Amino acid sequence: MLQNGNGKEKAPKAEEEETDSPTAVNPAQPQQCAPPAADKKDAEPTHFSMPTYPKLDIKRNAVTDDYKISSQVLGLGINGKVLECYNKKTGQKCALKILYDSPKARREVELHWRVSGGPYIVRILSLYENMHHGKKCLLIIMECMEGGELFSRIQARGDQAFTEKEASEIMRDIGTAIEYLHNINIAHRDIKPENLLYTIKERNGVLKLTDFGFAKETTLHNPLQTPCYTPYYVAPEVLGPEKYDKSCDMWSLGVIMYILLCGFPPFYSNTGQAISPGMKRRIRMGQYEFPKPEWSEVSQEAKDLIHQLLKTDPNERMTITQFMNHPWINQSMVVPSTPLHTTRVLTEDREMWEDVKEEMTSALATMRVDYDQVKIKDLDTSSNPLLNKRRKRAAAGAKSGSTVCQSQ
């Protein structure tokens, strides 16, 4: 049973948001920095003023006074599980994340609270400090993201085509969230599909970024130095002892964009390890391809943007400002509505994709990877099991006279 905290006076209660409106009252939202409407699709770069941050408003009464907590697990973050809960007064469905109190947990709560009012970022509604099994815990009440993960949503489209133009719009939304973070010197450091969730299942659902367990402030005096990350979306500089900064988020954007446009990642582990030695080598060398037929109809502008995001030298990698100003993102060019192979590939390789996510979850549990202990072994394109599986299927289809790849 969760109990109230240390018996000290309560912090002033924050008004909880009951709507998804970005203008609703939120104590975590910097008052000088109103985010743009979630559905605003202008071509101009977004500008954010430097906000001032309110002090953490942590309630010390038992969370069960205000919320009915379900045993339904909504997800697993790197620092704790997320449960379904309901506001007793309003009936609003929310998400509850429970963290054992620690400096790392405090950092996660502080940074997520600070950016909670930002565009395309999951909002914190309330914070609690309670005792659980004799240990002090931090409890984060967040908006419930009922629309599911980014790629699960694309998988669920079935025969409905997913287009390059839609991929551009998704990347612009993700970029807007990262732009907000980077403009206030925060790096997320774990941008991956599982941390990109939709508010609702309907088509008008808003994609938002969550899980700030690896987030850190980045300043000239405090560069990121901790090699903790999620495989498949990790920048090459994180794999070595070099210092790294917000540019590692840009690398992750490149990997997500690559998957959106074809359905499989540019780098893949084939050894059962969360991050294979060969995959590590390919990441460091920036070795990836745009194989046919999945990339045959993708625009050159999209490929050029990926090249700029997946630069191995972080000093050469584009910044978030350059990303948001790129014609493919701000749509100053006409992004083609070309049907992509993404939905088909994600559906056909659903089992393989789930294996990838399981490996990533296992890696997250370790919190860190000692890169000096990773043995290097070559990995070439032919040993990529996702590509191999499709090539074999295509060959079998050709022999039988069937058409395997149908993007139209």
* 5 φ, ψ (degrees, to nearest 5): -80, -135
Q: How far is CA 243 from CA 223, 307, 314, 379, in A?
A: 7, 22, 10, 26
Mean of per-residue pLDDT scores for the chain: 73
DSSP readout, 318-355? PPHHHHHHSHHHH-SS----PBPSHHHHHHHTHHHHHH
Report the alpha-carbon distance of residue 364 to residue 277 in Å, rounded.
18
Known catalytic membership, residue 190: yes
- What percentage of the chain carries pLDDT values higher than 90? 42
More confident residue, 194 or 219: 194
Fold of 62-143: Phosphorylase Kinase; domain 1 (3.30.200)
Q: Are 57 and 127 in contact (CB under 8 A)?
A: yes
Q: Of the spans 8-12, 166-170, 233-237, 247-251, which averages the highest pLDDT?
A: 166-170
Q: Any known ligand binding at 97? A: yes
User: Residue 93 has which token pair?
Assistant: 């469905």
pLDDT band at 310 (very low <50, low <70, confident <90, very high): confident
Report the alpha-carbon distance of residue 273 to residue 366 in Å, rounded.
13
Residue 231 pLDDT greater than 90, yes or no: no
- Using one digit for the tens of pLDDT, what is the confidence trace for 383-406? 445 556 656 666 666 565 433 333
- What percentage of the chain carries pLDDT values higher than 70? 60
The confidence score (pLDDT) of residue 39 equals 42
Q: Can you tell me the mean pLDDT for 242-249?
A: 65
- Using one digit for the tens of pLDDT, what is the confidence trace for 346-356? 888 777 666 55
The distance of Cα 252 from the centroid of its chain, to the nearest Å, equals 9
> Among residues 98, 171, 176, which one has the least CA distance to residue 136?
98
More confident residue, 305 or 380: 305
Report the alpha-carbon distance of residue 408 to residue 389 in Å, rounded.
21
Report the alpha-carbon distance of residue 13 to residue 408 in Å, rounded.
54
The confidence score (pLDDT) of residue 292 equals 87
User: Residue 153 has which token pair?
Assistant: 């949503």
Report the alpha-carbon distance of residue 93 to residue 143 in Å, rounded.
8
Q: Which are the contacts of 131, defined by CB distance < 8 A and separation ≥ 6?
A: 2, 3, 4, 5, 137
Residue 46 pLDDT greater than 90, yes or no: no
Q: Lowest mean pLDDT: which of 29-33, 89-93, 123-127, 227-231?
A: 29-33
pLDDT band at 21 (very low <50, low <70, confident <90, very high): very low
Strands 124-132 and 58-59: parallel
List the domain boundaries for the chain. Answer: 62-143, 148-392
The confidence score (pLDDT) of residue 321 equals 96
3-state SS string over 231-284? CCCCCHHHHCCCCECCHHHHHHHHHHHHHHHHCCCCCCCCCCCCCCHHHHHHHH
Strands 124-132 and 135-143: antiparallel
Residue 207 pLDDT greater than 80, yes or no: yes
Q: Are 154 and 170 in contact (CB under 8 A)?
A: no
Q: Are 376 and 277 in contact (CB under 8 A)?
A: yes
List 173, 190, 245, 349, catalytic entry: 190
Residue 7 pLDDT greater than 50, yes or no: no
Say which CATH superfamily domain 148-392 falls into.
Transferase(Phosphotransferase) domain 1 (1.10.510.10)
Q: How far is CA 253 from CA 146, 290, 323, in A?
A: 23, 17, 10
Report the alpha-carbon distance of residue 342 to residue 261 in Å, rounded.
6
